Structure 1
């Protein structure tokens, strides 16, 4: 990461490279005076949502949560496997650790719920992160409604949820290499500007990192190659995106301290006002401008047409289809399981000089059983028991019920 002055010089030198071309292939240099003055919005919405619920944890629930927390800390994986909170609709894994001043942490594929101890006097009952994929599937209103039904199981909720943090975003396609523009084109409230690179390719810019308001403009197609959030691709395709096109994300992160006073209201009441918040952020907090040689007052510089188009995207409701569903579980993908699982099998086959997978698999399972079940084995534990303990412990982390679980 380099400072702004270094980056401005670097982006001027690299201006011949296309934004979506990490291989360094040359393209037309971006020009602020003759740009591709359009964007194609693909999707906009709330990417991250953190809520605070006032109230008090029930003391009997606190005793049960403490027991589950201690079970999650156990060295016995069979005991760990029972460290989960279930109410018939949700199977929440209980962490062996709290977070900060919050004593208990419960999570699944939809929520991460941090609960204060029953003796806490100044903390809220709960601080909740709503996961991005669930927000994409159901939207902010339904997510809050689900939590409003769930949180009273843990104690007395003394008021509606309020926003602790909200991240608004727009995904879009454009021909203009936005991040290759020098820093002087950005009129911003924050002085801090950081550049992110990967193998000499600029993947994004962050404005005001760590502040009560911050912003990121970044190559989302690069990011999902790391995060695995491929669920976004069908949603983009529905809006005309084609594989290989660079998708940019403009994202603002706003903590409660950075919210306008008009939005420090119950979280459910802020939904119709989020378009106004986006307009404020893209006009008052950050703006892409066309510099003027005759006027040194940056606030008077005209707004770039790209930014004008971006600032009004939130004026209309999202027309992209939502996800069909978002899983409550946090199961690993087939790719993650089978790639790691085949390492041991292929190593065994190589050691034994076996090239046929059916023969190798049979020999591998037999040798595995001997290794664990033989009286001479230093492991001295039955393979079946070992695998059951491992599976139950991992099922808790993945929010999955075992098929023979009595709770079903």
Structure 2
């Protein structure tokens, strides 16, 4: 049992600032085009690049995505009566590969390029998730081994016979347990390996293996569950916990106190090793996996990262897209062959001839083909 990653998973914050008029007008024009196309639109401004979604949401006029490093920006229509016009979410890929210090510098640089000025006192942190990934092939998640306050909620997620179900005691393998509720404190233990495979997040194998390589250990093989079972313990702190319990609003308070937030969470919610001779659950000792998590709160949380190069992130995302599109191409070409009555023995020749038919289609309408190519290059420019 060993830690293969530790660091922030998600951070959400608001900024007391509004869009400059020139930027608002630019985004307004681009959003009209995105709405007409019903698709995200590549947008560049001041040396920054985004994908502008064709819709807003939750009071925000514009939603922009920042590429594979997983940053989402939300901008309101400027309003003098509502100074908190910007919200952003730092996703797990950026935080895991580059660390919180890089992420904060990225925010400053991006807003400066957009012509938005703000100070440290204009930041309000709304949520912070901290995670520890543990390689523990023999670990078995048992919901009843949690020791929690009687008023604290707990939800269990069970995998039974290959299907995911909500459960209160059916047979099967538990894949996650959630304790607590947002926007307060929430602790989740779940099968991260399963989530990475099910939701197509291949970059996490590189993150885990980069940390193992640093310790001169063999990499994980995704195909060998018995040797690559990773469990994630995630501590989520919502705005009620941060602001009401800990008085954390700005980065200085966050830096000084968030380690204590994590330490308190793993003290108030414990995963234990049951003692059959003691009926008082409060006296049960921590499970070793919980002691590993507790020890991380004593580290410098702000600088945790996996040292995976950003170009590696792009490469992994690009290769994943290539594999997916090739699978779709093969499937569509095989379906076409079936519709055209191609026999199994002639299938390979049919595929070869299909390439010639595609070439003729491009030659028949080169302008349309060029437009489609430009659209695709814009859509995938972040992973080129």
TM-score range, shorter chain: 0.7 to 0.9
Unaligned runs of 5+ in 2: 163-171
Note the C-alpha offset of 1:166: 1.0
Change (3 A) 1:62 1:130: same
Q: Which residue of 2 aligns with 1:341?
A: 329
SS of alignment partner, residue 36 of structure 2: coil
SS at match of 2:130: strand
Deviation at 1:188, TM superposition (A): 4.2
CA RMSD of aligned residues (A): 3.4
User: CA distance change for structure 1 residues 52 and 320 in 2, over 3 Å: closer, same or farther?
Assistant: closer
Shift of 1:121: 2.8
- CA distance in 1 between counterparts of 2:304 and 2:74 reads 33
Q: Distance in 1 between matches of 2:62 and 2:256?
A: 33
For residues 115-142 of structure 1, the C-alpha deviation after alignment (integer angstroms, 9 at most, x for no partner) is 1111363252311111211211210111
Select 1:353's aligned residue among 342, 358, 372.
342
| Match in the other structure for 1:97 | 55
Q: 1:302-347 deviations in whole A, cap 9, x for unaligned?
A: 5445423321123235787421226579655221110001122223
CA distance in 1, matches of 2:293, 2:35: 48
Note if 1:227 corresponds to 2:199: yes
**8 A contact 2:46–2:114 mirrored in 1:** no
Contact 1:52 / 1:126 at 8 angstroms: preserved in 2? yes
> CA distance change for structure 1 residues 150 and 269 in 2, over 3 Å: closer, same or farther?
farther
Secondary structure of the residue that 1:112 maps to in structure 2?
Answer: strand
* Count of residue pairs the alignment pairs up: 350
Which structure is larger by alpha-carbon Rg, 1 or 2?
1
The question of whether the paired residues in 1 share the 8 Å contact of 2:99 and 2:305 is answered with: no
Structure with higher helix content: 2
Which moves more between the two structures, 161-170 or 323-332? 323-332
- For the pair 1:282 / 2:266, whether they are aligned, the reply is yes
TM-score normalised by structure 1 residue count: 0.74
Name 2:28's counterpart in structure 1.
Answer: 66
Work out which structure has the larger RCO, using CA pairs closer than 8 Å and 6 or more positions apart in sequence.
1
Deviation string 1:146-203 (CA, Å, 9 cap, x unpaired) is 11111234454333333221110111133664422x5264224753211112324321
Tell me the residue number matched to 2:309.
Answer: 324
Match of 1:84 in 2: 42
Taking the aligned partners of 2:50 and 2:36, their CA distance within structure 1 comes to 18
Moved more, 344-353 or 99-108: 344-353
Q: Post-superposition shift, 1:63?
A: 1.2
| TM-score of the pair, normalised by structure 2 | 0.78
Of 110, 113, 116, the match for 2:73:
113
User: What is the distance in 1 between the residues matched to 2:249 and 2:233?
Assistant: 25
Aligned residue for 1:57, secondary structure, equals coil
After superposition, where does 1:26-65 map in structure 2 within 5 Å?
A: 39-65=1-27
Structure 1's 328 and 164: CA in aligned 2 closer, same or farther, altered over 3 A?
Answer: farther
Please list, as runs of the form range in 1=range in 2, the aligned pairs for 1:9-408 lying within 5 A after superposition.
Answer: 39-75=1-37, 83-87=41-45, 89-107=47-65, 108-110=67-69, 111-119=71-79, 121-122=81-82, 124-154=84-114, 156-160=116-120, 161-174=123-136, 177-180=139-142, 182-183=143-144, 185-188=146-149, 191-198=152-159, 199=162, 200-237=172-209, 238=212, 239=215, 240=217, 242-243=220-221, 244=224, 245=227, 246-259=229-242, 262=246, 264-267=248-251, 270-271=254-255, 273-284=257-268, 286-289=269-272, 299=282, 302-317=285-300, 321-325=306-310, 327=313, 331=318, 333-350=321-338, 351=340, 353=342, 359-361=349-351, 363-368=353-358, 383-400=365-382
Moved more, 132-141 or 315-324: 315-324
Q: What whole-Å deviation, never above 9, does each CA across 1:255-301 have from its counterpart, x for those lacking one?
A: 122116546242366246433221111013x1124667898775555
In the alignment, which residue of structure 1 is the partner of 2:165?
A: none
